[in-house]
Amino acid sequence: MGKRYGYEVIGVDNYTDYELKASGYKTVNSKRYNYNVLTQSGVDVVTDDINNSKFIDKMIEEKVDYIIHTAAQPTVTLSITNPRYDMENNVVATFNILELARKLDIPVSICSSVHVFGNDINENLEEYEDRFANFPESFDEDYSFLKGKVTPLHASKAVNEIHGKAYIDTYGLPVGIMRLTGMYGPRQFAGMNHGWVSNFIFRLLKGLPLHIFGTDKQVRDILYCDDASRVFYDFYDRQVAGLYVIGGGVNNLVSIRQVIDKVSKYLNVKPEIVMEPAREYDLNYFVGNSTKAWNNLGWEPKVSVDEGLKLTVDWIKENLEYFEVNE
Ligand SMILES: NC(=O)c1ccc[n+]([C@@H]2O[C@H](COP(=O)([O-])OP(=O)(O)OC[C@H]3O[C@@H](n4cnc5c(N)ncnc54)[C@H](O)[C@@H]3O)[C@@H](O)[C@H]2O)c1
């Protein structure tokens, strides 16, 4: 994508297999797939860890113009089983990147998650036949923060946001803090606890059971990958520092059950559902209001759920060999 826009891009990833392995998925082929896609599209891919101080020092010499920081431990579940790993790969890693941006005096985008809203949102939901509903339908940056049950992931993402604000306020650094909703699309190799849309699609294609925790009426405003990546370009163009809720919005509000129904119908398969106990930290409804991102960055989601699901299903179908499960 970078080359398409005329940028030279360095991609940094430690290619950890921690999350996918914990899901019982095999990782080697999927990691290699994305490595190849990036190198073939002209990205200079460096395999290293952003917690490696020698690597960070080397990046200072590269004199980059902008950093998009997406490396993370992204799951609630692994933050609970290994909070230190979460701390190191979210809090410390993001701090390292903010420091690098400060030393280079360049703009930086960092990623948070809608989890930081907290699940007190669950208290006021209405229950429809195939989904939960909330009025008002969407939440913006001013809605309350960290209310309800909080896990180490909520804490680390909240610290990322606060650190981002500290670097804006203290150093005047242009930091874009992207509070992202559930993302999906081609080339996402989902785990059991992260990337649920892609996870359900490949399991449906392989005839594997779908595990649902508590209820399939959970709602998200799912965000297609191209829409998600575009916000980082829009931020670089305008550099209006601050926190942004980045989601599919009310037009892309969909429940787990609705996604499974749409995909099953498209593939003409019957899903096997395994209901698991509810998790007390789950957020049963989230839909973002991205008016601030539109006003400040000119960003809005463009790909509809139906269009995005079709593109994702078609890609996974063509690349099913890369989705390997141990069980
Ligand atoms: N996927 C979603 O639905 C979602 C939702 C909300 C927020 N987010 C956030 O968006 C960002 C990107 O998410 P994603 O889904 O692409 O995650 P991902 O897990 O698919 O990708 C993260 C990458 O970071 C790499 N990585 C992890 N620790 C590293 C380290 N110390 N050094 C170098 N590389 C490291 C991993 O190998 C992985 O390839 C994350 O901050 C995540 O928390 C994601």
- Rounded to the nearest angstrom, the distance between the alpha carbon of 270 and the centre of ligand 1 is 31
Residue 47 lies in a domain: yes
The H or E element spanning position 206 is: helix 196-206
Q: Is residue 207 part of a domain?
A: yes
Where the chain has pLDDT below 50, the residues are 1
pLDDT computed for residue 28 by the predictor: 85
CA–centroid distance, 112 to ligand 1, in Å, is 10
pLDDT value of position 1: 47
CATH number assigned to the domain comprising residue 235: 3.40.50.720
Give the pLDDT score at 321: 93
Does the residue 298 lie in any domain? yes
**Total tally of structural domains belonging to the chain:** 1
Domain contains 37: yes
Residue of 1, 10, 12, 13 to test ligand 1 pocket, by largest number of atoms within 8 Å of CB: 13
| pLDDT given at position 193 | 84
What digits encode the pLDDT tens for the residues 105-142? 999 999 999 999 989 999 999 999 999 999 999 999 99
Do the domain assignments include residue 1? no
pTM above 0.85, yes or no: yes
Report if residue 84 sits inside a domain.
yes
**Is residue 4 a part of any domain in this protein?**
no
Looking at residue 60, its amino acid is: I
pLDDT of the residue at 147: 94
The secondary structure of 62-128 as a DSSP string is HT-S-EEE--S---HHHHHH-HHHHIIIIIIHHHHHHHHHHHHT--EEEEEEGGGG-GGGGGG-EE-
C-beta of residue 30 within 8 angstroms of C-beta of residue 322:
yes
By most ligand atoms within 8 Å of CB, the mutation choice from 1, 12, 14 for ligand 1 is 14
CA of 90 to the centre of ligand 1 (A): 9
- Asked whether residue 314 is assigned to any structural domain, the reply reads yes
- What residues make up the domain containing 228? 10-325
Distance CA 137, CA 116 (A): 18
Residue 65 CB burial class (10 angstroms; 0-12, 13-18, ≥19): exposed
26-60 burial: b if 16+ Cβ within 10 Å, else e: bbeebbeebbeebeeeebebeebbbeeeebbeebe
Residue nearest to atom 1 of ligand 1 (CA): 183
